């Protein structure tokens, strides 16, 4: 049994898109997710906002629990002080939990705590632990956390809304992050989140991201399935899969 089965599963399949449902039409989400699953989507990105860490409020554990899907639930917590709240997200079925280093006073303790928790969907699966970094946050903050980490997400927009523009300096940050991880000899997945559209998704795949979050570019308009297929094909072509 591998040490981190989910990480190995994603590493083998990477780069993968993680479909962000912030701007989805919730009335038709169920059937759309089934079609996306058939099209090859593996990860579902849920943006949790509390109206404090970022201005908007979105969904919480009951919503995450209510979404019945075999897709892996990639839960991005943009909330103040997640330390005491994280249990309820695990209980709701999060497979991957990412917290913002800026939001949490005891972030190392939080990662340790997550590392001891059991995946509610499958006790053998484990939970992937991620850190998200805002565009203005130095990459070096991950160094003291590196032994407790499975993923680092670089925000390519400031957290708060879907549909913002990709910040170009993300590319340089991504390559420096890769360097930090390889110098530390750590197998950690790298994600990019925010502003990823049909026009730039191939570029982001070429930047060597393992997980590529794409939200409004999939759900805005009337053709989420077609958008999804476009995104998967673009990523596969760009990465030579
Ligand atoms: C930003 C969120 C992102 C964002 C993605 O606060 O973390 O996940 O909603 O949406 P798009 O793809 O529309 O930028
Ligand atoms: Zn997100």
Q: How many residues does the chain have?
A: 241
Task: Supply the pLDDT for residue 39.
Answer: 96
Ligand 1 atom closest to 220 (CA): 13
Asked if the model's pLDDT at residue 241 lies above 90, the reply is no
**Integer angstrom CA distances of residue 80 from 1, 92, 101, 104, 148:** 35, 19, 10, 7, 20
- Mean pLDDT, rounded, for 10-15: 98
pLDDT confidence tier of residue 184, bands split at 50, 70 and 90: very high
Over residues 200-235, the pLDDT tens digits come to: 999 999 999 999 999 999 998 889 999 999 999 999
Over residues 75-123, the pLDDT tens digits come to: 999 999 999 999 999 999 999 999 999 999 999 999 999 999 999 999 9
- By most ligand atoms within 8 Å of CB, the mutation choice from 79, 100, 156, 157 for ligand 1 is 157
Residues β-bridged to residue 133 = 154
**Integer angstrom CA distances of residue 107 from 26, 81, 83, 113, 168:** 32, 9, 8, 10, 28
Ligand 1 atom closest to 161 (CA): 6
Which residue has its alpha carbon closest to ligand 1 atom 3? Answer: 194
Where in the chain does DSSP place strands (E)? 16-20, 43-49, 72-78, 96-100, 128-133, 151-155, 189-193, 211-214
104 CA from centroid of ligand 2 (Å): 17
Residues β-bridged to residue 189 = 151
- Mean pLDDT, rounded, for 23-29: 94
| Residue 80: count of CB within 10 angstroms of its CB | 16
**Integer angstrom CA distances of residue 61 from 58, 67, 73, 134:** 11, 10, 12, 23
Task: Supply the pLDDT for residue 104.
Answer: 94
Task: Supply the pLDDT for residue 91.
Answer: 98
117 CA from centroid of ligand 1 (Å): 27
pLDDT confidence tier of residue 1, bands split at 50, 70 and 90: low
Q: DSSP string covering 102-149, please? A: GG-TTHHHHHHHHHT---SS-TTT--EEEEEE-TTS-GGGGGGGGGG-
How much is the pTM? Answer: 0.98
Average pLDDT over the chain reads 97
């Amino acid at each position: 049994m591998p040490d981190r089965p989910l990480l190995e599963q994603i590493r083998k399949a990477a780069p993968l898109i993680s479909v962000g449902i912030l701007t989805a039409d919730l009335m038709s989400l169920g059937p759309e997710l089934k079609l996306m699953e058939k099209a090859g989507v593996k990860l579902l990105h849920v943006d949790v906002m509390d109206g404090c860490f970022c201005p908007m409020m979105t969904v919480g554990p009951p919503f995450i629990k209510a979404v019945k899907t075999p897709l892996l639930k990639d839960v991005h917590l943009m909330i103040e002080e997640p330390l005491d709240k994280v249990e309820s997200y695990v209980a709701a079925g999060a497979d991957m939990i990412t917290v913002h280093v800026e939001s949490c006073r005891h972030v190392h303790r939080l990662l340790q705590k997550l590392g001891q928790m059991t995946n509610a969907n499958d006790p053998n699966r484990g939970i992937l632990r991620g850190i998200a970094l805002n565009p203005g946050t130095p990459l070096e903050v991950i160094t003291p956390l590196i032994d407790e980490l499975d993923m680092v997400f670089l925000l390519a927009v400031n957290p708060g809304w879907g549909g913002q523009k990709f910040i170009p300096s993300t590319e340089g940050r991504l390559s420096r992050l890769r360097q930090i991880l390889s110098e530390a000899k750590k197998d950690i997945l790298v994600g990019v989140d925010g502003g990823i559209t049909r026009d730039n998704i191939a570029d982001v795949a070429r930047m060597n991201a393992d997980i590529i979050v794409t939200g409004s570019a999939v759900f805005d308009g009337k053709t989420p399935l077609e958008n999804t297929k476009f995104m998967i094909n673009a990523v596969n072509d760009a990465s030579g899969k």
